[in-house]
């Protein structure tokens, strides 16, 4: 009896640590790419776009931002990838609040997607809302799991946030 209980317990313990599976097939990120047109670590975060969307630095001068944002695969189109394309557009147009709204919309569909939390953290950082940015970055970190490239990006942002505060 005791044995069965303990097996049950360890199984449930195992399941507790092994049940993570992303809800949407979107959690892969690939190493960052820096577009040629982007200025080097001066004004806005560099946005790289999967599709040939014209990328321009956000018009508002901001504090130095993370130099790179990890890119992810876009095939096939998912709700998150579709919305991220719109996030990029909104960022390029300088409408940061719209970009935040779109990221949140994506998060409602894929709430455990570390990259989406990271994007939101990044937008808040550019908006100089540092404490919110930190909250989102830390949440991104908690979902990043084994994604080392993303973890590194998030930690870099956290370092910048610590310096900005």
| Residue number, 6 or 42, with CB nearest to another protein | 6
| Residue number, 26 or 38, with CB nearest to another protein | 26
Question: What would the 3-class secondary structure string for 46-103 be?
Answer: CCCCCCCCCCCCCCCCCCCCCCCCCECCCCCCCHHHHHHHHHHHHHHCCCHHHHHHHH
| Residue number, 22 or 34, with CB nearest to another protein | 22
Query: Shortest distance, CB of residue 152 to another protein, whole angstroms?
Result: 14
| Residue number, 9 or 41, with CB nearest to another protein | 9
For residue 162, what are the contacts with CB-CB under 8 A and spacing of at least 6?
none
| Residue number, 17 or 40, with CB nearest to another protein | 17
Query: Shortest distance, CB of residue 22 to another protein, whole angstroms?
Result: 9
Token readout for 19 is 């049940």
User: 3-state DSSP call for residue 30?
Assistant: strand
CA separation for the pair 21, 114 (Å, rounded): 12
In the beta sheet, which residues pair with residue 30? 71
Query: Shortest distance, CB of residue 20 to another protein, whole angstroms?
Result: 5
Query: Shortest distance, CB of residue 90 to another protein, whole angstroms?
Result: 8
Residues that bind another protein (CB under 8 A): 2-3, 5-6, 9-10, 12-17, 19-21, 23-24, 76-79, 81-83, 86, 90, 97-98, 100-102, 104-105, 107-109, 111-112, 120, 131-132, 134-136, 138-139, 142-143, 145
């Amino acid at each position: 009896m005791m044995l069965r209980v303990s097996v049950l317990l360890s199984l449930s313990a195992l399941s507790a640590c092994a049940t993570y599976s992303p809800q949407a097939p979107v959690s892969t990120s690939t190493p960052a790419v820096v577009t040629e047109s982007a200025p080097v670590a001066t004004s806005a975060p560099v946005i790289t776009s999967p599709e040939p969307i014209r990328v321009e630095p956000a018009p508002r001068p901001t504090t130095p931002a993370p130099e790179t944002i990890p890119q992810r695969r876009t095939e096939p189109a998912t709700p998150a990838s579709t919305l991220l394309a719109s996030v990029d557009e909104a960022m390029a147009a300088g409408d940061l609040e719209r970009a935040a709204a779109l990221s949140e919309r994506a998060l409602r569909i894929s709430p455990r997607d570390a990259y989406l939390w990271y994007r939101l953290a990044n937008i808040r950082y550019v908006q100089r809302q540092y404490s919110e940015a930190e909250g989102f970055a830390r949440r991104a970190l908690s979902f990043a799991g084994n994604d080392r490239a993303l973890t590194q990006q998030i930690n870099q942002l956290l370092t910048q946030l610590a310096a900005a505060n």
